[in-house]
Amino acid sequence: MMKRAIVMALASAALMFNVASRADETVNKNWPSPIHDNPVYSKFMLDRLEVRDTKEGNMKYFEGQAYIGTDLNKLWLKSEGSVVKNTTEDADLEALYSRAVAPYWDVQVGMRHDFSVNNQPSRDWAAFALKGLAPYFFDVDASAYVGSNGRTAARLSAEYDLLFTQRLILTPQFEGNLYGKKDPARGLGSGLSDVEFGLRLRYEIRREFAPYIGVVWARKYGGTADMARSEGIPVEDTQVVVGVRSWW
């Protein structure tokens, strides 16, 4: 009797399992497509498109970046440049693979190209960067570069958004550049080359579009300043700026 009861119990369990499996198959066929939890994002940010009143005349300046990828892995493009009296004074482009390594922080690796402008030769660099939000929401971008002939460079930029209202925002900004060895062909000395402090007040008509006004203080140092003086270029300048910030 005991043996017969065990056999019947096992048979009943097998039957129930088979019925449940078929029910699951029927339900599964009716389920919607699975949720994609690793979608691809893209964004283009024109951080600064502005006109500056400088000692050399009106300067048109741009700085922008774009990315495409997932939460963990992205391709980043960064570029900035300036035009004075219809002559391009400076322009560069970076293409970087970006990997998220911590909340709000990415490590980036790629290449930077300094374009040949104003009779200056172009330069190519291997680029390494750490980009993210520091405590208290400071937006930080720290980069190191290695070029040919033993050239090295570093760039640090940081900014912070101070909200007066949900639309009126004041943004202090800093950028500094250093070079490991002098590069007379591009007017650069070794050590600290230049720094720039900016203060911009923008009004977000929409989140994606914000005109602004501001002031920028720029200063060259060391060998870079000496080369600028020899060319009759000001080494220090305070500039009034008017521009627009946009993204999509």
| CB burial string 189-216: b at 16+ within 10 A, e below | beebbbbbebebebebeeeeebebebeb
For residue 28, name the pLDDT band (cuts at 50, 70, 90): low
Q: Is the per-residue pLDDT at 5 higher than 80?
A: no
Radius of gyration of the chain (CA): 28
Q: What is the pLDDT of residue 187?
A: 93
Per-residue burial over 43-54, b if 16 or more Cβ lie within 10 Å, else e, is eebbbbebebeb
Please check the confidence at residue 79 and state whether its pLDDT lies above 60: yes
In this prediction, residue 121 carries a pLDDT of 94
* Residue 17 reports pLDDT greater than 50: no
3-state DSSP percent of the chain in helix, strand and coil, to 5:
20, 60, 20
Residue 15 pLDDT class (50, 70, 90 cuts): very low
Give 171-203 pLDDT, tens digit per residue: 999 999 999 999 999 999 999 999 999 999 999
pTM: 0.81
Four-CA torsion 45, 214, 243, 93, nearest 10 degrees: -50
Q: Are 127 and 96 in contact (CB under 8 A)?
A: yes
